Amino acid sequence: MIKKITAVFLIFNFSFTIVSKADEGMWLPLLLKQLNESDMQRNGLKLSAEDIYSINKSSLKDAIVQFNGGCTAEVISDKGLILTNHHCGYGQIQAHSSVQNDLLTNGFWAMNQSEELVNAGVTATFIVRMEDVTSKVLAGITDQMGDAERDKKINEAIVQIQKEAVTGTRYAAFIRPFYYGNEYYMFITETFTDVRLVGAPPSSIGKFGGDTDNWIWPRHTGDFSIFRIYANKNNEPANYSADNIPYKPKYVIPISMKGVESGDFTMVYGFPGRTTEYLSSYAVNMIMNQSDPDKVKIRNTRLQIMDQAMKGSDAIRIQYAAKYAGIANYWKKWQGEINGLKKLDAISKKEQFEKSFLLNVNASNDARNKYGNLFTDFEKKYKELSILNKQRDYYYEAILGVEAISYTSSFYDVIEGLYAGKKINDYEKEIDKLKSNMKVFFKYFNASTDEKIAIALLKMYSEDINKKDQPEIFSIIEKKYHGDFSKYAQEIYAKSIFVSEDKMNKLFQNFGRNYKKISKDPMYKLMQSCYSKFLKDIKPQYTALDVDVTKLNRAYMKGMRELITDKKYYPDANSTLRVAYGKVNGYFPRDGVFYDYYTTLEGLIEKENPLVDEFMVSPKLKELYLKKDYGKYADKNGELRVAFCASNHTTGGNSGSPVLNGEGQLIGTNFDRDWEGTMSDIMYDPNQVRNIVLDVRYTLFVIDKYAGAGYLLNEMQIAN
């Protein structure tokens, strides 16, 4: 019987495999031995799983850093030097920049340790170990339990297990659900907080091609920056102190000068953020036909307005650089994702899979009882969810896309609490925090640009969201201003204290007295109307549906693993440490076009355009190019390679991840994905998905020949 089911399944499954070609998947390091080692070795890995992840000896894992929560970095010297992307260190480079001393434009290189720049709040986190804690977390959980009780029990267990794991150590622990809560893993971490900027190329190298080339292969961006981790005398994490010394790592990744060729094995070791590979067709439909297009539309408007302002003023350009890049990044990615899903015919592939899954389900009473209603339930829930999801997207992207509104909302709890009768003393800490946030906010805020954004986005919101679902303030704008959003915005930006640093300073001079006027502030009123609508209506309903959908996903995931057993299932990315592996390889992006697997400085110069910021080449780099002064960084044909692409399955968060050869040596730094492959967060296609990697030889060339900071290379282990 089971055999027969599998046969039926295979017929329906002709083109769609959920998992496990050599290149698809983001695997848990502690399971490599069991799941992947032999496959990896067959594909060219010379190491053992134990060399990659071990709790008994130092291993590659000890050189992998989660950089500032969102990116990855790797340890490349025994003095704590770490390599990540330029776009990962961008916020820090920006923070040290001014119109007079513009490190974004000019780059920065410390010529010795004393010149390194201190960064407030930057973190570097290592994974000490990980552990499967599923049976502990789910102990005593039964299928009969109600959701609330189940969640409560699980959360209590998690808190308890985490606590036990690290009490009396300097480590932290966190537990995350995997496979939609079918499994749980715990991660023990060590976080360093004195991380200094050592070097960054100028944007003309580190951001070459800018947003135009972002998410695009072939690519010529020298997307790297270098930091150094500092520790106290005992090699332990410590906040900045002049007495701190360079961190002595447990493992240093050696660097290969050999480069890579088509077909070579590669692996990526890092912290991919979020993927959703096991969604139902209903979810994919909502994402590709509603959510992605909505968010693209809203950001389009925001970006156009920002772009104009930045082009008109250097000060605004520096102020808005990181913000703009961040907003533009996913704006573009979502567009690629829509295209990719369409081209893959993702919805029908999912539907086909669902049909074949159901055949398996209907083959036994037990499975039918457990999974028989899954897809009708999905359909029903997604109908409801789509409506709320739209309101939620518009709240986050359009309403909070107005920075003054999102800034003002940070005062909501304190102000409402005070109006409700709490004492000012109850909020001492919160008020201090608001005060220090104020400085950061205004450093990166331009009121007149934001006013323009407010006019456009509020108008868009009022047109696209059903009247009955809009916050009350919109009917007031309709009545009092006859829907003239310019007039309304002009008035609130002129009157509100929240858009003026001076006025805000005055507020903080005597908060206890001055807060009383805030209820009349027009920006506060706008925020209050929108935020309370969100809190009272949108969020609770959305959350309830999301809980239901997660439960369905948990059952679906369980069913897949139970009934379709000829596959290896990797868990969706969730910002935990993973290994992806694949091969260096070009691809056919469209009919009749082939993209080769590497790019060169020659190609960078071909893209040069002195009239367009993003494609300017600095005279120094031009000179090195003209002299062909590539030294030992050239490949065997005398070319200087800039980047290469490979079929590793990666996502946001993998930026800065080390890309390693079969010997475990560093061959490059991951920094992007190809346009044709951006749908791989939802559906992977081995023919189209490529990760984009900065060739480490270009990195070393820039440090040495361009920046004259070759002294740093002496710290590294460079294998010729």
Q: Which positions are annotated as active-site residues?
A: 87, 223, 655
Residue 210 contacts which entry, ligand ARG, ligand GLU, none (Cβ below 5-8 A, type-dependent): ligand ARG
335 binds ligand GLU per the rule CB under 6 A: no
Q: Which stretch binds ligand ARG (CB under 6 A): 197-205, 259-267, 321-329, 354-362?
A: 321-329
Residue 654 contacts which entry, ligand ARG, ligand GLU, none (Cβ below 5-8 A, type-dependent): ligand GLU
Residue 524 contacts which entry, ligand ARG, ligand GLU, none (Cβ below 5-8 A, type-dependent): none
Smallest gap from residue 472 Cβ to ligand ARG (A): 37
Of the candidates 706, 689, 661, 568, which has an alpha carbon nearest to the alpha carbon of residue 253?
661
Binding residue (CB under 6 A) for ligand ARG from 24, 183, 351, 672 = 672
Q: Are strands 255-256 and 718-719 parallel, antiparallel or unpaired?
A: parallel
Coil/strand/helix, residue 624: helix
Q: Annotate 137-159 with DSSP letters as a single string.
A: HTTT--TTS-HHHHHHHHHHHHH
641 to 660, contacts with ligand GLU by CB under 6 A? 650-655
Smallest gap from residue 403 Cβ to ligand ARG (A): 19
218 binds ligand ARG per the rule CB under 6 A: no
H/E/C letters for each residue in 651-664?
Answer: CCCCCCCEEECCCC
Q: What is the DSSP letter of 596?
A: -
In angstroms, the Cα distances linking 82 to 161, 190, 387 are 32, 16, 45
Smallest gap from residue 672 Cβ to ligand GLU (A): 5
Residue 450 contacts which entry, ligand GLU, ligand ARG, none (Cβ below 5-8 A, type-dependent): none
215 binds ligand ARG per the rule CB under 6 A: yes
Here the tokens at position 325 are: 């890049």
Here the tokens at position 253 are: 């990744």
224 binds ligand GLU per the rule CB under 6 A: no
Given CA atoms 695, 698, 704, 709 in this order, what sign does their dihedral have? negative
Residue 651 contacts which entry, ligand ARG, ligand GLU, none (Cβ below 5-8 A, type-dependent): ligand GLU
Residue pointed to by tokens 């701190």: 244
> Which C-beta is closer to ligand GLU: that of 174 or that of 330?
330
Q: Are strands 194-200 and 108-109 parallel, antiparallel or unpaired?
A: antiparallel
Phi and psi at 147, nearest 5°, equal -60, -45
Smallest gap from residue 85 Cβ to ligand GLU (A): 7
> Which C-beta is closer to ligand ARG: that of 221 or that of 291?
221
Binding residue (CB under 6 A) for ligand ARG from 325, 476, 713, 718 = 325
Smallest gap from residue 649 Cβ to ligand GLU (A): 9
Q: Is 591 exposed, middle or buried (0-12, 13-18, 19+ CB in 10 A)?
A: exposed
User: What count of other Cβ atoms lies within 10 Å of the Cβ of residue 431?
Assistant: 18
Smallest gap from residue 122 Cβ to ligand GLU (A): 16
655 binds ligand ARG per the rule CB under 6 A: yes
686 to 715, contacts with ligand ARG by CB under 6 A? none
Binding residue (CB under 6 A) for ligand ARG from 210, 273, 417, 586 = 210
In angstroms, the Cα distances linking 144 to 113, 141, 150, 530, 551 are 61, 9, 9, 39, 13
Residue 653 contacts which entry, ligand ARG, ligand GLU, none (Cβ below 5-8 A, type-dependent): ligand GLU
Q: Which stretch binds ligand ARG (CB under 6 A): 10-18, 57-65, 208-216, 414-422?
A: 208-216
Beta bridge partners of 175: 186
Phi and psi at 421, nearest 5°, equal 105, 0
Q: Which stretch binds ligand ARG (CB under 6 A): 146-154, 207-215, 299-307, 420-428?
A: 207-215
Of the candidates 174, 256, 273, 224, which has an alpha carbon nearest to the alpha carbon of residue 73?
224
Do the Cβ atoms of 102 and 315 come closer than 8 Å? no
Residue 211 contacts which entry, ligand GLU, ligand ARG, none (Cβ below 5-8 A, type-dependent): ligand ARG
337 binds ligand ARG per the rule CB under 6 A: no
Of the candidates 364, 167, 401, 379, which has an alpha carbon nearest to the alpha carbon of residue 280?
379
Phi and psi at 232, nearest 5°, equal -80, -175
676 binds ligand ARG per the rule CB under 6 A: no
Q: Output the CA torsion 608→611→617→620 (10° steps).
A: 130
347 binds ligand ARG per the rule CB under 6 A: no
Residue 693 contacts which entry, ligand GLU, ligand ARG, none (Cβ below 5-8 A, type-dependent): none
Smallest gap from residue 331 Cβ to ligand GLU (A): 13
> Which C-beta is closer to ligand ARG: that of 29 or that of 656?
656
What lies within 8 Å, CB to CB, of 670 at 6+ separation is 72, 268, 270, 648, 650, 654, 655, 656, 657, 658, 659, 691, 692, 693, 694
Binding residue (CB under 6 A) for ligand ARG from 214, 657, 661, 691 = 214
**Measured at the alpha carbon of residue 67, what is the angle toward residues 61 and 653, in degrees to the nearest 5?**
85
Give the whole-angstrom CA distance, residue 201 versus residue 668. Answer: 16
Give the whole-angstrom CA distance, residue 73 versus residue 269. Answer: 10
> Which C-beta is closer to ligand GLU: that of 534 or that of 671?
671
69 to 98, contacts with ligand GLU by CB under 6 A? 71
> Which C-beta is closer to ligand ARG: that of 600 or that of 657?
657
64 to 93, contacts with ligand ARG by CB under 6 A? 87
Binding residue (CB under 6 A) for ligand ARG from 89, 202, 652, 686 = 652
How many residues sit in the footprint of ligand ARG (CB under 6 A)?
11
Do the Cβ atoms of 175 and 161 come closer than 8 Å? yes
> Which C-beta is closer to ligand GLU: that of 652 or that of 658?
652
What lies within 8 Å, CB to CB, of 526 at 6+ separation is 405, 408, 473, 492
Residue 650 contacts which entry, ligand GLU, ligand ARG, none (Cβ below 5-8 A, type-dependent): ligand GLU
> Which C-beta is closer to ligand GLU: that of 66 or that of 446?
66
Give the whole-angstrom CA distance, residue 382 versus residue 388. Answer: 10
Coil/strand/helix, residue 635: coil
- Interface residues with ligand GLU (CB under 6 A) are 71, 650-655, 671-673
- Interface residues with ligand ARG (CB under 6 A) are 87, 210-211, 214-215, 325, 328-329, 652, 655, 672
